[in-house]
Amino acid sequence: MPSESPLTWLGKGKEKRALKLCRKHIDKIVKTTESMEETVRSFCEAGKDTRRKSEKVFKREREADEVKREILNELSKGNFPPLSRDVIIRLATTADDIADNARGAAAKVNLLDPSELNDSLRNNLKTLAGLALEIVRLLEDTYSTLLKDPKATLEKTNRVEKMEEKIDYFRAGNLASKIIEWSNHLCKPGTSGVLYEIENNIEEVADQTENTADIIREIAIRAI
């Protein structure tokens, strides 16, 4: 990378402003995911304060959504390179799906009674939420690197991809089979359905994080 100050390569004026706002957006998404992980952990460990903790998720998701609107508003002002506008819109909207799914998981946890889940299920659900938070924090680090050194960003995006694969393996090998076993024993299709949706929401946090990292990789490659 040329010996320039950070962000010089990103372009001028509005483009730079929009990408700085994307950093703020990702920060909000990390906070939303942190609160989701706290909510799921609270549910799995004691079942106390889950509703109060989930309210924090909703608040932080709204804050992330406000920043996304701020980004889109910035992109609507004046002339903007069409390609740049398109990739930044995709970055913002894909990243926002992370927060949406974190909110979805936290909301649905309140519909379940933790005492109905066995220890294995609770532990694995807690682990899945922790892994989701880990990959989102990796994304935050990846985007921070993008703003300083696009070339170094490529390795960071590979780490996000590998982490997503790890989460897939964990879900398939540890959680999915346990849910099926528990569901067959419990014979409560409504409760089982909600648990599947929570699992899917948390998995989508990881999937959308990988998708966001792919867009960051695209931006980095263009800048090298």
- Report if residue 2 sits inside a domain: no
Whether residue 164 contacts residue 135, with contact meaning beta carbons closer than 8 Å, is answered with yes
- Report if residue 1 sits inside a domain: no
Whether residue 81 contacts residue 10, with contact meaning beta carbons closer than 8 Å, is answered with no
Structural domain for 104, as ranges? 11-223
Domain of 20, CATH number, reads 1.20.58.220
Task: Output the tens digit of pLDDT for each of the chain's 224 residues.
Answer: 443 444 455 555 677 888 899 999 999 999 999 999 999 999 999 777 899 999 999 999 999 999 999 999 988 886 766 668 899 999 999 999 999 999 999 999 999 989 888 898 999 999 999 999 999 999 999 999 998 999 999 999 999 999 999 999 999 888 887 887 777 777 677 788 899 999 999 999 999 999 999 999 999 998 88
Whether residue 147 contacts residue 16, with contact meaning beta carbons closer than 8 Å, is answered with no
The amino acid at residue 178 is: K
- Report if residue 63 sits inside a domain: yes
- Report if residue 5 sits inside a domain: no
Query: What confidence score (pLDDT) does residue 1 get?
Result: 41
- Report if residue 199 sits inside a domain: yes
- Report if residue 165 sits inside a domain: yes
- Token duo for residue 80: 């903007």
Burial class (CB in 10 A: 0-12, 13-18, 19+), 69: exposed
Query: What confidence score (pLDDT) does residue 3 get?
Result: 39
Query: What confidence score (pLDDT) does residue 83 get?
Result: 62
Number of domains composing the chain: 1
- Report if residue 119 sits inside a domain: yes
